[in-house]
Amino acid sequence: MDLDLSPSELEFQAEARAWLAANVPAEPLPSMDTAEGWVLHQEWEKKLTDARYSVVSWPTEYHGREASLIEWVVFEEEYYRAGAPGRVSQNGIFLLAPIIFEHGTKEQQDRFLPTMASGERVWAQCWSEPEAGSDLASLRSTATRDEARGGWVLNGQKTWSSRASFAHWGFGLFRSDPTAARHAGLTYFLFPLDAEGITVRPIAQLDGEAGFAEVFFEDVFVPDADVLGAPGDGWRVAMSTAGNERGLSLRSPGRFCAAADRLVDLWRAHGDAQPQTRDAVVDAWIRAQAYRLYTWGTVTRLAGGGDMGAAGSVNKVFWSELDVALHETGLDLLGAEAELESRWTDGYIFSLSGPIYAGTNEIQRNIVAERILGLPREAKGAGK
Amino acid sequence: MKFTWTEEQRAFADSLESLLAASDTVGVARAWAEDDTAPGLALWSRLAEQGVNALMVAEDAGGMGATGVELVIAFEALGRHAVPGPWVESAAYLPVALGTEALAGELAEGAIASVAVAPHVPHALDADLAAHVFFVDAGQASVATIGERLHSVDNTRRLFRVSSGAPTALSGDLEAAFDTAALATAAQLLGAGERLLADAVAYVKQRRQFGREIGSYQAIKHQLADVRIALDFARPLINGAALSLGSADATRDVAAAKAFTAEAAYRASRVALQVHGAIGYTRELDLSLWIVKVRALVTAWGTPAHHRGQVLDALVRAGA
């Protein structure tokens, strides 16, 4: 057992650290969910791409550098330690790209991955519907076959679509076979958000910014070339744990370690005035450290050919609760000044979404209990 | 970078597990609590034959000079099986505190020793059974004078009041010894927590109420999921601290592991009791051994408050 980086990994780390030190904007960029911030975040992605740091673990032909999983985690640690901007393209890079690598055709990979990597084309997820949240498989938006044009016609409504207010393309599941059972008969589609028949209505989030949107579909035509995986196979495609070998379904520990270090800095400045926060400061740092070490264990397992299994659910509950606790503690340290807008209020408001998005923590706990502990599934509700 | 056991480490864990699983450790622990120590001493010898007592003894002193990883493998197994006796004292603290003294070699062979380390470890475990009992206060060691028997909430922990007697020298690094002991205790807590969770999961799968297994209810599931999550994050902290032993960060990393694991194991004990209901509140059910043991180990070899303080001191110092 060891935690040592190899000479080439150390070299990669030093290179990344030096580049970030020289290139990360001195002042935090404005929020990516504003028109001004959006442009600046896209420019930052371009800069990352030119230095081949936007998708280090991807193949060279798609702007990557074929970095190993270990190097990917190292890069993420350096990235957040350097205080670099949030990734405006993350929904594409982290959620969609693994699916395209696993299920996409070569033509789709060539067509979609380079501009996703460079941030020129930003992707928004279109999963939830007004009546399909945690119970995603109950979604009702439809895809109707149009044999004459060689494609499908989408109708319905998606909501809570992150980045959709400014993004260029979307991805999501639609019901292509109304006669099939819940999870069957769904198809995975890719579509430009400025397509005829699509209306995007931004929704102000808790912080007032348009971080997500409703997306309405009225007879939107999508050609067969933009179906991901086989028609009717969308659920399996969307739920596949694809891309583990690229680390893309891991949540980088770098962000939490960097935030925990900032919290310790805050304690140095304000701890004397708020001594009751002591345990919470220490616990946040310990939990960030636990998350970092846990990730190295996961990386070791994946590198040895293992898979994530349900560990992603263990992960998600842990980091999302850590993120909230960390920012709550930061605000407690700021005392009566805490309510004034700052990096800590921004981080706090953002952290509150963590236990909800990407599968609520209640759903994740069900998964941990059923798939890891082997507890019996709950009897289904009598709703239908 | 391979943050997992080597083949040898896995084999060591497996061999301890098969030995302990076949040793009626529950019977051993219950007898130990009643001062019938013969079965426990026999088990002590068998574990010594497996090398547990020699792990942390320096090779120069006749030990194995093993790493912290082997230490935590052994102590997790001791915790999972509720093995009684002064294991932390004889196989973690004293081997390091004694350095290359001859007595360390005796410990490697299976000699029983105990120690109190003021103020964090005020009393000595099984002092009446130990061939050597030390008392360490402010870095000064003495041969302990043994006083009255005390009663722990965990009745398999046979504690004795001790006081300082004739001064003696412990030539090893006492701070490193304390780190080693705290790490061993954290590993015991992890083992105990895993055992509590396993028993609780087995119970809720077969206990039925309102016509179905209680483990199908979310109110039960979510509590057990939280225990699984907490223990999953305790383990890498313990392994990280095991690798850190002997480094400049050892005290910080061990303290983090002990504070976090104590909380995780304590959560396991509370949830295990709660999902068992009234049957869990009985001495008769074996679960009771681990429920009270965890409570005792939470404050043994440094309270959570002490260890959090150690972490914070290290962090604040690092940034100064």
Catalytic one of A245, A328, A337, A370: A245
Q: Tell whether A270 and A355 lie within a shared domain.
A: yes
Q: Is B160 helix (H, G, I), strand (E, B) or coil?
A: strand
Alpha-carbon gap: A377 to the closest alpha carbon of chain B (Å): 6
In a domain, B113, yes or no: no
Q: B138-181, pLDDT tens digit by residue?
A: 889 999 999 999 999 999 999 999 999 999 989 999 999 999 99
**In total, how many domains does chain B have?**
1
**Interface contact B193, partner A, CB < 8 A:** no
Tokens linked to B1: 């970078």
Evaluate whether residue A111 is within a structural domain.
no
The DSSP H or E segment spanning B289 is helix B287-299
Residue A252 has a pLDDT of 81
pLDDT exceeds 50 at position A384: no
Say which residue the tokens 């301890």 belong to: B16
Residues A157 and A192 in one domain: yes
Q: How confident is the model at residue A292 (pLDDT cuts 50, 70, 90)?
A: very high
Is there a domain that residue B119 lies in? no
Strands A227-228 and A186-192, sheet pairing: antiparallel
Contact status, residue B263 vs residue B299, Cβ threshold 8 Å: no
Residue pair B255/B307 in contact (Cβ under 8 Å)? The answer is yes
Contacts of A1 in chain B (CB under 8 A): 2-6, 9, 69, 239, 242-243
Nearest CA distance, A314 vs chain B (angstrom): 6
pLDDT tens digits, B176-207 = 999 999 999 999 999 999 999 999 999 999 99
**Can you tell me the mean pLDDT for A325-344?**
97
A221, A325: one domain:
no
pLDDT band for position B320 (50/70/90)? Answer: low
Encode pLDDT of B297-316 as tens digits: 999 999 999 999 999 999 99
Is residue A380 situated within a structural domain?
no
Query: Is residue A2 a part of any domain in this protein?
Result: no
Specify whether the CB–CB gap between A188 and A104 falls below 8 A: no
Whichever domain contains B190, its CATH number is 1.20.140.10
Most confident of A206-215, A251-260, B14-23: B14-23
Residues of A in contact with B213 (CB under 8 A): 375-376
Query: Which of A41, A66, A88 finishes a domain?
Result: A88
In a domain, residue B203? The reply is yes
Does residue B46 fall inside a structural domain?
no
User: Token pair of A325, please?
Assistant: 């606790």
The answer on pLDDT for A245 being more than 80 is no
| pTM of the predicted model as reported, rounded to 2 decimal places | 0.95
pLDDT averaged over every residue in chain B: 97
Do A199 and A306 belong to one domain? no
Is residue B99 within 8 A of residue B67, CB to CB? The reply is no
Would you state the pLDDT for residue A310?
84
Assigned domain for A194 exists: yes
CA distances from A265 to A255, B12, B175, B316 (A): 16, 42, 27, 8
| Amino acid in position B190 | L
Domain of residue B310 covers 178-319
pLDDT, averaged across chain A: 93
Interface mutation target, options A295, A375, A378, A380, chain B, most CBs of B under 10 Å:
A375
CB atoms within 10 A of CB A307: 10
Residue after which a domain boundary falls, among A214, A239, A264? A239
Contact call for residues A376 and B213 (beta carbons, < 8 A): yes
| Residue A69 distance to chain B (closest CA, Å) | 11
B286 located within any domain: yes
Range of the domain at A234: 123-239
Residues of B in contact with A377 (CB under 8 A): 216
Give pLDDT, residue A240.
77
- How many domains does chain A divide into? 3
The DSSP output letter for A246 is G
CA distance B278 to B280: 5
Same domain, A231 and A318: no
For residues B24-39, average pLDDT: 98
- A72 and A143 fall within a common domain: no
Q: For the residues A324-344, what does the mean pLDDT come to?
A: 97
In angstroms, the CA A242 to CA A232 distance is 18
Under DSSP, the state recorded for A96 is I
- pLDDT the model gives residue A246: 45
Active site residue A245: yes
Q: How far apart, in Å, are the Cα atoms of A344 and each of A323, A326, B276?
A: 11, 10, 42
Domain check: are A128 and A84 in the same one? Answer: no
Q: What is the CATH number of the domain that holds A292?
A: 1.20.140.10
Is the residue at B222 inside a domain? yes
Question: Least CB-CB distance to B228: which of A6, A289, A314?
Answer: A314
Indicate whether B296 belongs to any domain.
yes
**Please, what is the Cα angle at A121 between A163 and A129, to 5 degrees?**
35
Whether residue A310 sits in one domain with residue A206: no
Say if residues A124 and A94 touch (Cβ distance below 8 Å).
no
A197 and A268 co-located in one domain: no
Tokens matching residue B69? 């990883």
Q: Is the pLDDT of residue A247 over 70?
A: no
B260 in a structural domain: yes
